[in-house]
């Protein structure tokens, strides 16, 4: 075991781990913010919604479906010109962020809509009867009441993003995926392949564990 550990280039591992964490959490934060906004938009423009708008609803729904239909590996390639414009390069962890956000935002938006749909319609009706404005209903009722589902949605999205970063890594974004592909696969270094896989698994478990703990704390139903 010691012998095995000695074979691992720890510095290289830590750099790769940092890159993966950076990519995952930066893109997760951005995707959750954008996804939540789009989720609220989708939910409230529905036919029974607070800001009923058929055209806006159908348009947003269409874009979300298209983005969700494109495999991530294709998104990576399609987004290259946009990334170059925005970040200046198509290599490195930073350059992976735009494509990761574009892939995860529609995913989280869908999860947010599901979370909002589960909010008791009666509480929304009661808030209306109390004279709440539509904005107050969204900020004071819809989001707080959907919070546990929104948080577990963040977890699911975060875990998907860990997988996406590995794919992005394979085409030059760095991180554990890059390490596993370049050293583990291309150079047939099984120790690197194995240890980067273990790290990815640990990240996923930690995200899920933290998520479950928070959901349990905030769910008062």
- Output the CA angle 110-116-119, nearest 5 degrees: 150
Q: How far is CA 47 from CA 55, 58, 65, 190, 209, in A?
A: 11, 11, 19, 55, 37
Comparing CB distances to another protein, the nearer of 144 and 209 is: 144
Comparing CB distances to another protein, the nearer of 64 and 149 is: 149
Comparing CB distances to another protein, the nearer of 69 and 129 is: 129
Task: Report CA torsion sign: 59, 61, 64, 66.
Answer: negative
Of the candidate residues 45, 105, 127, 157, the single one contacting another protein (CB under 8 A): 127
Of the candidate residues 141, 161, 162, 176, the single one contacting another protein (CB under 8 A): 141
**Long-range Cβ contacts of 86-90 (<8 Å, 24+ apart):** 90/172
48 binds another protein (CB under 8 A): no
145 binds another protein (CB under 8 A): yes
Tell me how far apart the alpha carbons of residues 105 and 34 are, in angstroms, rounded to a whole number: 6
Listed residue (191, 161, 196) closest to 176, CA to CA: 196
Of the candidate residues 3, 71, 131, 216, the single one contacting another protein (CB under 8 A): 131
128 binds another protein (CB under 8 A): yes
Comparing CB distances to another protein, the nearer of 31 and 127 is: 127
Q: How far is CA 151 from CA 25, 51, 178, in A?
A: 14, 25, 29
Comparing CB distances to another protein, the nearer of 132 and 171 is: 132
Of the candidate residues 54, 66, 135, 144, the single one contacting another protein (CB under 8 A): 144
Element spanning 147, H or E: helix 143-168
71 binds another protein (CB under 8 A): no
Which range of residues in 14-22, 52-60, 135-143, 177-185 is near another protein by CB under 8 A?
A: 135-143
Q: What is the largest CA-CA distance in the chain?
A: 70
**Nearest approach, Cβ of residue 103 and another protein (Å):** 31
220 binds another protein (CB under 8 A): yes
Residues of the shown chain interacting with another protein in the complex, contacts defined by CB under 8 A: 120, 122-123, 125-133, 136, 140-141, 144-145, 147, 218, 220-221
């Amino acid at each position: 075991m010691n012998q095995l550990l000695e074979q691992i280039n720890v510095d290289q591992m830590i750099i790769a781990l940092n890159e993966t964490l950076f990519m995952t959490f930066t893109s997760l934060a951005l995707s959750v913010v954008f996804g939540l906004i789009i989720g609220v938009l989708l939910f409230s423009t529905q036919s029974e919604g607070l800001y009923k708008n058929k055209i806006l609803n159908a348009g947003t729904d269409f874009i979300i479906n298209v983005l969700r239909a494109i495999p991530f590996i294709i998104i990576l390639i399609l987004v290259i010109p946009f990334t170059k414009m925005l970040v200046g390069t198509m290599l490195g962890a930073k350059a992976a962020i735009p494509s990761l956000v574009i892939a995860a935002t529609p995913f989280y938006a869908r999860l947010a809509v599901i979370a909002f749909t589960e909010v008791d319609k009666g509480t929304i009706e009661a808030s209306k009867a109390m004279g709440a404005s539509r904005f107050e209903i969204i900020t004071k009722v819809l989001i707080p009441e959907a919070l546990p589902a929104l948080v577990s949605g963040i977890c699911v999205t975060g875990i998907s993003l860990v997988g996406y970063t590995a794919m992005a890594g394979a085409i030059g974004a760095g991180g554990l995926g890059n390490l596993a592909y370049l050293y583990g696969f291309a150079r047939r270094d099984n120790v690197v392949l194995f240890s980067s896989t273990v790290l990815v698994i640990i990240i996923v478990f930690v995200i899920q564990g933290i998520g479950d703990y928070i959901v349990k704390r905030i769910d008062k139903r």
